[in-house]
């Protein structure tokens, strides 16, 4: 069974940092390109960024609102992808989902940025 | 504007066929695969259609995807009450180097 399980969400003050994790199983993680997508309360889906597989370069791409503040990395030995979020703003509040676009979504983890 | 264009709403009666459109451009839908996801109220999105028209395992064949030029469509045939949800299209954009999502279409079963 394909599974993507996010963790690491929580409440953080503006300017703070948080690291999200997404543990994958049920598919060939090493070959997967993984994305992070977020959803603000009552809003639509917003792509955050992605990381390619190491065999295709392992490079990353980011949406403009998070570029320079967020970093995506992966540990293929742990079948896990990470989202490091720095300099958080209130507008970063939302549910963060891990996604392998040809396979599955995760269940999401809630990030709340508030003073 | 990092958004593919979808109608905000669509509706039908049980058993009907409903089609949702997703309009983009040559740098996204016109040259890359389109993906469709379903989000039931209060739940995480679920992948419905991959690579324009491929159904992942477990997705009923009532759902189908198609693409022509810079537009794509999701069709739901034999509409059921449990199909009430938000539906999103997505595609990579070669020029902006981002994944673009549609604004979402809320499907109501009358």
pLDDT in tens, B56-97: 999 999 999 999 999 999 999 999 999 999 999 999 999 999
Task: Compute chain A's Rg from CA coordinates.
Answer: 13
Contact at CB, B45 and A97, closer than 8 angstroms:
yes
Alpha-carbon gap, residue B99 to B92, rounded angstroms:
4
B13 to chain A, closest Cα gap in Å: 25
With 80 as the cut, is the pLDDT of residue B1 above it? Answer: no
Tally Cβ neighbours within 10 Å of residue A74.
23
Q: How many CB pairs under 8 A join A and B?
A: 58
Question: Residue A63 is nearest to which of B56, B90, B98, comparing CB atoms?
Answer: B98
Which residues of chain B neighbour A108 with C-beta distances below 8 Å? 44
Give yes or no for A105 touching B (CB within 8 A).
yes
A107 to chain B, closest Cα gap in Å: 5
Give yes or no for A57 touching B (CB within 8 A).
no
Least CA distance to B89: which residue of chain A? A45
With 80 as the cut, is the pLDDT of residue B2 above it? Answer: no
Measuring CA to CA, how many Å separate B108 from each of A3, B37, B76, B86?
29, 16, 12, 9
Site of tokens 């994958």: A24
Task: Compute chain B's Rg from CA coordinates.
Answer: 13
- What is the share, in percent, of chain A residues with pLDDT greater than 70? 100
Contact at CB, B44 and A106, closer than 8 angstroms:
yes
- SS3 category, A31: helix
Q: Are A98 and A8 in contact (CB under 8 A)?
A: no
Contact at CB, B46 and A105, closer than 8 angstroms:
yes
Least CA distance to A36: which residue of chain B? B99
Question: In the numeric block, which tokens belong to residue B79?
Answer: 């509409």
Q: How confident is the model at residue B3 (pLDDT cuts 50, 70, 90)?
A: confident
- What are the φ/ψ torsions at residue B56 (nearest 5 degrees)? -60, 160
Sheet-wide strand order for A3-7: A3-7, A18-25, A80-85, A70-75
Least CA distance to B54: which residue of chain A? A102
Low-confidence ranges of chain A (pLDDT < 70): none
Give yes or no for B58 touching A (CB within 8 A).
no
pLDDT digits (tens, 9 = 90+) for B25-68: 999 999 999 999 999 999 999 999 999 999 999 999 999 999 99
End-to-end CA distance of chain B: 33
Query: pLDDT value at position B4?
Result: 96
Give yes or no for B101 touching A (CB within 8 A).
yes
Give yes or no for B36 touching A (CB within 8 A).
no
Question: In the numeric block, which tokens belong to residue B106?
Answer: 């809320």
């Amino acid at each position: 069974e394909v599974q993507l399980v996010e963790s690491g969400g929580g409440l953080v003050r503006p300017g703070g940092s948080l690291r999200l994790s997404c543990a994958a199983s049920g598919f060939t993680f090493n070959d997967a390109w993984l994305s992070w997508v977020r959803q603000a309360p009552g809003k639509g889906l917003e792509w955050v960024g992605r990381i390619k597989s190491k065999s295709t370069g392992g490079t990353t791409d980011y949406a403009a609102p998070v570029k320079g503040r967020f970093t995506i990395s992966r540990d293929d030995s742990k079948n896990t992808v990470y989202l490091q979020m720095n300099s958080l703003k209130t507008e970063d509040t939302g549910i963060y989902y891990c996604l392998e676009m040809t396979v599955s979504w995760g269940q999401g983890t809630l990030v709340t940025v508030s003073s | 504007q990092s958004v593919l264009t979808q109608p905000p709403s669509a509706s039908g009666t049980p058993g009907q066929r409903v089609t949702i459109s997703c309009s983009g451009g040559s740098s996204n839908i016109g040259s890359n695969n389109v993906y469709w996801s379903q989000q039931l109220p209060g739940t995480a999105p679920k992948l419905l259609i991959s690579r324009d028209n491929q159904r992942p395992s477990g997705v009923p064949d009532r759902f189908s995807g198609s693409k022509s030029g810079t537009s794509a469509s999701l069709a739901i045939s034999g509409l059921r009450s449990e199909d009430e949800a938000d539906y999103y299209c997505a595609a990579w954009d070669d020029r902006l180097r981002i994944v673009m999502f549609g604004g979402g279409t809320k499907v109501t079963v009358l």
